[in-house]
Amino acid sequence: MSGNEIRERFLKYMEERNHAVIPSAALVPENDPTTLFTGSGMQPLVPYLMGESHPKGTRLADSQKCFRAEDIEEVGDNRHTTFFEMLGNWSLGDYFKEEQISWFYSFLVDEIGLNPENLYVTVFAGDEENNVPQDDEAVAIWQKLFQEKGVSDGVARMGSEEDGAKRGMREGERIFYYDASKNWWSRAGKPENMPAGEPGGPDSEVFYDFGTEHDPAFGEHCHPNCDCGRFLEIGNNVFMEYVKQEDGTFGKLPAQNVDFGGGLERITAAALGESDVFKVDLLSNVIEQIATLSGKSYEDNLVPFRVICDHIRGAVFMIGDGVMPSNTEQGYFVRRLLRRSVRYADTLGIGEGKLADLAESVVETYQGHYTNLGEQKDQIIETIRTEEAQFRKTLEKGLKHFEKLAHGDITGYEAYILFTTYGFPVELTEELAVQRGHVVDMEGFKEEMKKHQEASRAGAAEKFAGGLADHSEKVVQYHTATHLLLAGLRKELGDDVHQAGSNITGERLRFDFTHPEKVSAEVLEKVEEYVNTAIKAGASVSTQTMTKTDAESDPTVEGSFWDKYPDEVKVYTVKDEAGNVYSRELCGGPHVENTGIIDGTFKIVKESSSSAGVRRIKAILE
């Protein structure tokens, strides 16, 4: 069974259960300033889990493209990848535990034919401190399902991962209670790590048992949450009904929601009975090609094969979503993926310029579902080709620079310059130094990097670390101010002005828009005035759901990126009591209810060029 097939079967299965299938959001989240990438299926749906109504209703399903930058260094084992697809289905206050658990179980067992003997599940053991009970309801549902198939249904209490490793599993046990460190899901992890306003809830995870031997390096005994490779988590049913409150306690969300996410490659691996996700067709096509290009075998070179394969796929999807290699923000990761690929390709003796061939096979594998990849194939391949060639030139220059330094040990600062100016991964510097009998001051290097990160603006370091979207009040205020800004710009500069990009934090907004030339100081002042008038007016912000066709043909509705929206869209209107409309724009929210909530005076602090035909404004609320 192929990954492409399982994706389509899942979506159809959910459609048959009255779910609207929605397109994957882009890898780069919109209006979500504090995270660089979409890292889970639920991320684009957070506003709806928090209570906003979704234009497609209360049952949704999709296969969401995800990228986890923090896993770059983890790639190399049989399961970690930076890019992956997460199959998802959501109940926005519609069905709850009974349907969710039964459907997913039946999908695995009846649809794709997994043997229920190989399935093990975990449930939430309760959290007294936060007043969340243990999930006996989920246990009862699981027991009924396992009994129906005539497999054992024993229940055991584990606690933490360490407790699980100490206790191990006994004959007949299939359902395991773990504590909040394992069976609680929020984007910030366990309850105590969640900031105020963050939604979360107990979850019930499904593991596939590949029956491989336990590796004691991972703990005394094996258990579902053991990382030795025997068990693979293939799905997570999150019962999302809680929200952290300002006082640190938990409250209930407006509705009981279900957030289900399951890794497509992992589910396919289980269907194949193959514990190595790189053997799934979605990845194995590239693995085979690496073998052909290098003349080496996968089994003898697991790490370089897996890294190249993962990184090229990630880069292809990223470029397909408009992220070009660069030195900042998302682009930096595309660059890193490609540079690491070049380095690993060199260790395998793959000749120059071959990454583009690998990229082509990624496009071929995925273009049936992700049609944008097929349409942009030439551009994607060209970008990768150019980046590889450029990196090779930089490497050459770096090598010359390195030779000048290599008369002795390399200081942290030198390694840092080699990295930042010449793109030398520090491992490369180390490798070359060792060849010449010298060492690199790695601690010093790390310190320099830290200094650099602290200095780098826009909170990028936090974003790399986190992945936590922030719907704090201030961000929402900035978001509404951004709508007013666009409306003001269009009023002053004309209807050719549209949004080209937006990035908002709790401290400032950054807004890119289409306009061919510099905007004069006088115009900027007028735009500021426009926004501040709207803020002072205490105008209300209302939403309206309409069909995309209607919205698109309504000249009073401003919008861009229309293709990214589903057939039904939401339009936000800012209007005061006297009937003055300040802004009317297509958007997914969230926004303040009234502009009077916006705290501060709107001030444009910078106007500059962003790229050809696109200007950039930075503004603050003072």
Residues of this chain that bind ligand SER (CB under 6 A): 40-42, 88, 185, 236, 238, 259-261
How many angstroms separate the CA atoms of 176 and 121, rounded?
6
For 200, the token pair is 């979360």
Complex with ligand SER: residue 89 or 383, whichever CB lies closer: 89
Residue 263 CB, shortest distance to ligand SER, in Å, is 9
* Strand (E) or helix (H) holding 10: helix 3-16
Residue 604 CB, shortest distance to ligand SER, in Å, is 38
Residue 355 CB, shortest distance to ligand SER, in Å, is 30
* CB neighbourhood size of 246 (10 A): 9
Complex with ligand SER: residue 75 or 258, whichever CB lies closer: 258
Q: Is the dihedral of CA 119, 123, 125, 129 positive or negative?
A: positive
Tell me the backbone φ, ψ of residue 17, rounded to 5 degrees: -105, 35
Complex with ligand SER: residue 68 or 223, whichever CB lies closer: 68
Complex with ligand SER: residue 42 or 359, whichever CB lies closer: 42
Complex with ligand SER: residue 49 or 381, whichever CB lies closer: 49
Residue 70 CB, shortest distance to ligand SER, in Å, is 14
| C-alpha of 192 from chain center | 22
Residue 32 CB, shortest distance to ligand SER, in Å, is 15
Q: What is the SS3 string spanning 245-305?
A: CCCCCEEEEEEEEEEEEEEHHHHHHHHHCCCCHHHCHHHHHHHHHHHHHHCCCCCCCHHHH
For 135, the token pair is 């999930």
Q: What is the SS3 string spanning 528-549?
A: HHHHHHHHHCCCEEEEEEEEHH
Complex with ligand SER: residue 42 or 60, whichever CB lies closer: 42
Complex with ligand SER: residue 241 or 259, whichever CB lies closer: 259
Residue 63 CB, shortest distance to ligand SER, in Å, is 12
Residue 199 CB, shortest distance to ligand SER, in Å, is 10
Complex with ligand SER: residue 67 or 185, whichever CB lies closer: 185
Tell me the β-bridge partners of 185: 201
Residue 508 CB, shortest distance to ligand SER, in Å, is 29
Complex with ligand SER: residue 225 or 503, whichever CB lies closer: 225
Residue 89 CB, shortest distance to ligand SER, in Å, is 9
Residue 175 · residue 155 · CB < 8 Å? yes
How many angstroms separate the CA atoms of 125 and 133, rounded?
8
Residue nearest to ligand SER (CB): 261
Residue 244 CB, shortest distance to ligand SER, in Å, is 16
For 452, the token pair is 């650099």
Instruction: Return the DSSP state at 308.
Output: H
Where would I find the H helices in 321-409? 329-347, 355-366, 371-375, 377-405
Residue 570 · residue 547 · CB < 8 Å? no
Residue 467 CB, shortest distance to ligand SER, in Å, is 10
Of the candidates 35, 49, 86, 47, which has an alpha carbon nearest to the alpha carbon of residue 65?
86
| Measured CA angle at 536 (ends 530, 538), to 5 deg | 115
Complex with ligand SER: residue 233 or 274, whichever CB lies closer: 233
Complex with ligand SER: residue 175 or 238, whichever CB lies closer: 238
How many angstroms separate the CA atoms of 447 and 433, rounded?
19
Of the candidates 370, 369, 285, 389, which has an alpha carbon nearest to the alpha carbon of residue 319?
370
